[in-house]
């Protein structure tokens, strides 16, 4: 929760000084960054590879709730959601710009906290912060990040390349971020009813981390490259498996068969889903915010993929006419339906 | 003003349909755009030139007031402020991404109107819209645009290259956008007092256009190139001449001498300033939002620059120790002080 006790109002130091404070620790690590923060525009040099650009907007009250989201985690996550999009193109993230709009309830120390999370993600992924904009807002906090990456043209993976009989694969496990959110929401309600009750998070660290401090699967990109696996299509799981596989199928003009019991779900996700009386598969299919990579690869890569610990094969690509189907262990088929967990907030 | 009469609520069509509606008319015109809207990231190919990136955030109630700003103009202007930053680096704008957060008061038709302005600016400046993000907002409208451009490395102009004895030059005229804003604010107050009084804008079209529909001076960039004039430093006038010349001087570690009576001010700006009892020079020095280009060039280019109609020579670069001075026609000197017209809202 945001309090202003013993903190510095932003009005006291003004915009220029705030920017100076936030940018003074920024270091440039990539040789493709010619000029970072401090001019009308940043300058990049990508002379041998293609440049990739993606952008995401995070709005207080829509995408995050500061009652249970530490600002440092929020900063970290706002970078990750962008880097994840670059990974989903098989590209390497190199730079970001960060624009924020802040209302009066935030003090200098709050924004420094947010930036420490942003810079921590930059450091971990070797990404340079090269520019941005700072503005006031009449209500709450807004973060708009644009990420820039590079890839050789022939290595870029789009959503539209899935082919008949391709394997459908996903990294890590799904549904954990969603169950982490449910847990946070539950404790928020309990806390609102009785502020003396302290939140009960013991043993749920993994779910909370998946929700509050996700990672971009750059490691998977590298593993695939090392193993000479070249995905035919790829997308990151931000809106839930159902929504993402439909994007791949619709863009590639193919159908698919997903095996419900092959979807990787962590045991802690199952336990929490059980507590909430939710089927864990529902969290995986519709939960979102896992930032895992969903991709298709040629059937001939089966042996190579099977050996990689953190990748699961969950289905295969069919003719378009087959439709997009989910098969349970009894052989029952149902249509896959996109049910993003939050309408206008992709 | 935003009304919902005979319009379609966004909730009725949902996010995906809204994005489809907004992006269906987007055309790609630049060969450097390999893949635009529709995947996790856009793909660009800048193999021979450097890539430049800039970003600006516009927040309702801070940067614009929808009582007197038509959404189409707002869309146009939000693109222009970014393209202007690229021009200030001597770069050619090529692509933009557009992220918007919208509250419930906006209908589909409103956002289409906003986009028609965005696309109109793209068309005029031959820029491709290649991606973005759409989100809800709890209050008002927020627009975050990132612009990408290209330039040969040796042609890029930074803020820090001004040299002793360089000429200080500015394009067009200054203060008009600020007087346009004063006029709009005055009519807003009158309208609030008595809604039967219609705003009196006759004869003030130029000032209103400078405020509501500014242009980026890509033409000046081209004129300078044609005339073999290579600026040593450059910045666009978004916060007022005072603030911008100080940026150049501080970054270049030099001083300057600006001649008050050389600052180009349009006659309509003078007239309106007179009506408001403001010295027109104050509007030029501190008004901002003119999006003209302020640059320095070697003294040896004097004859070439003098002949260009839309560029004024307004001063010269001095030793740092001289300070940053304004000289009036009587020879009185005063220090140049940055007085951006709006604290945290660059």
pLDDT tens readout for residues B300-336 = 999 999 999 999 999 999 999 999 999 999 989 999 9
For chain A, give the percent of residues with pLDDT over 90: 83
**What kind and span of H or E run contains B87?**
helix B71-87
Residues A246, A324 contacting (CB under 8 angstroms): yes
CA dist A123 and A26 (Å) reads 10
- pLDDT bin (cut points 50, 70, 90) of residue B1 is low
Nearest to B217 by CA among B113, B86, B326, B128: B86
Query: Distance between alpha carbon B75 and the CA centroid of its chain, in Å?
Result: 12
| B103: chain A residues, CB-CB within 8 Å | none
Contacts 24+ apart (CB under 8 A), A110-116: A110/A2, A110/A7, A110/A71, A111/A10, A111/A18, A111/A22, A112/A21, A112/A22, A113/A70, A113/A71, A113/A72, A113/A75, A114/A71, A114/A72, A114/A74, A114/A75, A114/A141, A114/A143, A115/A22, A115/A75, A116/A72, A116/A75
Nearest CB partner across the interface for B346, out of A15, A43, A159: A15
Report ipTM (2 d.p.). Answer: 0.92
Residue B172, SS3 per DSSP: coil
CB within 8 Å: A156 and B236: no
CA B150 to chain A, closest CA, distance in angstroms equals 9
Best of A14, A40, A47 to substitute, by most chain B Cβ atoms within 10 angstroms, is A40
For chain B, give the percent of residues with pLDDT over 90: 83
| B232: chain A residues, CB-CB within 8 Å | none
Q: What is the pLDDT of residue B341?
A: 45
- pLDDT bin (cut points 50, 70, 90) of residue B123 is very high
CB within 8 Å: A40 and B142: no
Q: What is the pLDDT of residue A339?
A: 72
Q: What is the pLDDT of residue B20?
A: 87
Phi, psi of A339 (to 5 degrees): -140, 55
CB neighbour list of residue A286: distance below 8 Å, 6 or more residues apart: A178, A240, A241, A242, A243, A339, A340, A341
Task: Read off the pLDDT of residues A94-124 as tens digits, 9 standing for 90 and up.
Answer: 999 999 999 999 999 999 999 999 999 999 9
Count of C-beta atoms within a 10 Å radius of residue A298: 15
Task: Read off the pLDDT of residues A53-90 as tens digits, 9 standing for 90 and up.
Answer: 999 999 999 999 999 999 999 999 999 999 999 999 99
Nearest to B150 by CA among B84, B97, B92, B231: B92
- Count the residues in chain B: 346
pLDDT of B187 over the 90 cut:
no
Count of C-beta atoms within a 10 Å radius of residue B6: 7
Phi, psi of B100 (to 5 degrees): -130, 145
Q: What is the pLDDT of residue B36?
A: 92
| CA Rg value for chain A | 21
The whole-number average pLDDT for the span A169-189 is 95
How open is the CA angle B271-B275-B278, to the nearest 5 degrees?
90
Residue B117, SS3 per DSSP: helix
CA B331 to chain A, closest CA, distance in angstroms equals 32
Query: DSSP state, A60?
Result: B
Residue A5, SS3 per DSSP: coil
pLDDT of A298 over the 80 cut:
yes
Residue A207 burial by CB count (10 A; 0-12/13-18/19+): exposed, middle or buried? buried
CA dist A112 and A279 (Å) reads 40
The whole-number average pLDDT for the span B106-129 is 96
Phi, psi of A192 (to 5 degrees): -65, -35
- pLDDT bin (cut points 50, 70, 90) of residue A241 is very high
Q: Average pLDDT, whole number, for chain B?
A: 93
- pLDDT bin (cut points 50, 70, 90) of residue B284 is very high
- Structural domains of chain B ordered from first start: 10-155 (3.30.1330.10), 167-335 (3.90.650.10)
CB within 8 Å: B131 and A45: no
Q: Which two tokens stand for residue B86?
A: 């690229």
Q: What is the pLDDT of residue B298?
A: 98
CA dist B145 and B133 (Å) reads 10
Does residue A245 or residue A187 have the better pLDDT? A245
CA A300 to chain B, closest CA, distance in angstroms equals 26
Q: What is the DSSP string of A73-142?
A: HHHHHHHHHHHHHHHTTT-EEEEEEEEEEE-TT-BHHHHHHHHHHHHHHHHHTT-EEEEEEEEE-SSS-E
Q: Which two tokens stand for residue B184?
A: 């709009």
Q: What is the pLDDT of residue B11?
A: 86
- pLDDT bin (cut points 50, 70, 90) of residue A154 is very high
Task: Read off the pLDDT of residues A38-47 as tens digits, 9 standing for 90 and up.
Answer: 899 999 998 8
For chain B, give the percent of residues with pLDDT over 70: 98
Strands of B293-297's sheet in order across: B233-236, B293-297, B167-171, B311-318, B255-259, B324-327, B333-335
CB within 8 Å: A41 and B48: no
pLDDT of A198 over the 90 cut:
no
| CA Rg value for chain B | 21
| B236: chain A residues, CB-CB within 8 Å | 40
CA distances from B249 to A214, B161, B252, B290, B325 (A): 43, 9, 5, 20, 11
CA distances from A70 to A1, A26, A120, A157, A202 (A): 8, 22, 14, 34, 18
- pLDDT bin (cut points 50, 70, 90) of residue B143 is very high
Q: What is the pLDDT of residue B278?
A: 93
Nearest CB partner across the interface for B343, out of A14, A58, A63: A14
Residue B16, SS3 per DSSP: helix
Q: What is the pLDDT of residue A301?
A: 97
| B135: chain A residues, CB-CB within 8 Å | 57-59, 62-63, 344-346
Q: What is the pLDDT of residue A340?
A: 53
CA dist B62 and A77 (Å) reads 27
- pLDDT bin (cut points 50, 70, 90) of residue B345 is very low
Nearest to A52 by CA among B61, B40, B284, B159: B40
The widest CA-to-CA distance across chain A, in whole angstroms, is 66
CA dist B309 and B284 (Å) reads 19
Q: With DSSP H G I counted as helix, E B as strand and the rest as coil, what are the percentages for chain B, rounded to 5?
A: 35, 25, 40
CB within 8 Å: B133 and A346: yes
Residue A293, SS3 per DSSP: strand
Nearest CB partner across the interface for B40, out of A39, A100, A235: A235
Task: Read off the pLDDT of residues B56-73 as tens digits, 9 standing for 90 and up.
Answer: 999 999 999 999 999 999
For chain A, give the percent of residues with pLDDT over 70: 98
CB–CB contacts below 8 A, A to B: 236
Residues B91, B83 contacting (CB under 8 angstroms): no
Q: What is the pLDDT of residue A346?
A: 35
CA dist A186 and A273 (Å) reads 13
CB within 8 Å: A146 and B146: yes
pLDDT of A144 over the 60 cut:
yes
CA dist A52 and A200 (Å) reads 42
Q: What is the pLDDT of residue B343?
A: 38
Best of B11, B13, B15, B51 to substitute, by most chain A Cβ atoms within 10 angstroms, is B51
pLDDT of A2 over the 80 cut:
no
Residues A260, A329 contacting (CB under 8 angstroms): yes
- pLDDT bin (cut points 50, 70, 90) of residue A172 is very high
Task: Read off the pLDDT of residues A20-39 as tens digits, 9 standing for 90 and up.
Answer: 889 988 889 999 999 999 89
Q: Average pLDDT, whole number, for chain A?
A: 93
- pLDDT bin (cut points 50, 70, 90) of residue A341 is very low
Q: With DSSP H G I counted as helix, E B as strand and the rest as coil, what are the percentages for chain A, rounded to 5?
A: 35, 25, 40
CB within 8 Å: B86 and A236: no
């Amino acid at each position: 929760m945001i309090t202003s006790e013993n903190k510095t109002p932003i009005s006291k130091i003004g915009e220029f000084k705030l920017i100076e404070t936030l940018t003074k620790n920024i270091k440039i690590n990539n040789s493709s960054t010619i000029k970072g923060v401090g001019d009308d525009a940043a300058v990049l040099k990508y002379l041998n590879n293609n440049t990739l650009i993606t952008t995401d907007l995070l709005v207080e009250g829509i995408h995050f709730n500061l009652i249970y989201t530490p600002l440092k985690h929020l900063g970290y996550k706002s970078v990750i959601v962008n880097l994840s999009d670059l990974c989903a193109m098989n590209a390497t993230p190199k730079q970001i710009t960060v624009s924020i709009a802040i209302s009066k309830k935030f003090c200098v120390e709050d924004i420094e906290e947010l930036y420490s999370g942003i810079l921590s993600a930059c450091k971990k992924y070797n990404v340079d912060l090269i520019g941005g904009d700072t503005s006031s807002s009449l209500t709450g906090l807004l973060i708009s990040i644009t990420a820039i990456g590079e890839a050789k043209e022939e290595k870029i993976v789009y959503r539209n390349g899935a082919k008949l009989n391709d394997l459908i694969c996903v990294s890590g496990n799904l549904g954990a971020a969603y169950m982490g959110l449910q847990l946070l929401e539950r404790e928020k309600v309990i806390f609102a009813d009785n502020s003396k009750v302290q939140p009960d998070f013991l043993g749920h660290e993994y779910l909370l981390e998946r929700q509050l401090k996700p990672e971009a699967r750059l490691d998977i990109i590298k593993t695939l490259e090392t193993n000479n696996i070249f995905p035919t299509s790829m997308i990151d799981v931000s809106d839930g498996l159902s929504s993402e596989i439909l994007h791949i199928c619709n863009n590639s003009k193919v159908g698919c068969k997903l095996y419900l019991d092959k979807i990787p779900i962590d045991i802690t996700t199952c336990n929490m889903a059980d507590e909430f009386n939710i089927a864990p598969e529902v969290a995986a299919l519709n939960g979102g915010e896992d930032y895992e990579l969903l991709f298709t690869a040629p059937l001939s890569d089966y042996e190579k993929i099977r050996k990689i610990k953190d990748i699961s094969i969950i289905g295969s690509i069919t003719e378009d006419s087959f439709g997009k189907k989910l098969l349970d262990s009894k052989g029952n088929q149902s249509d896959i339906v996109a049910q993003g967990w939050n309408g206008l907030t992709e």
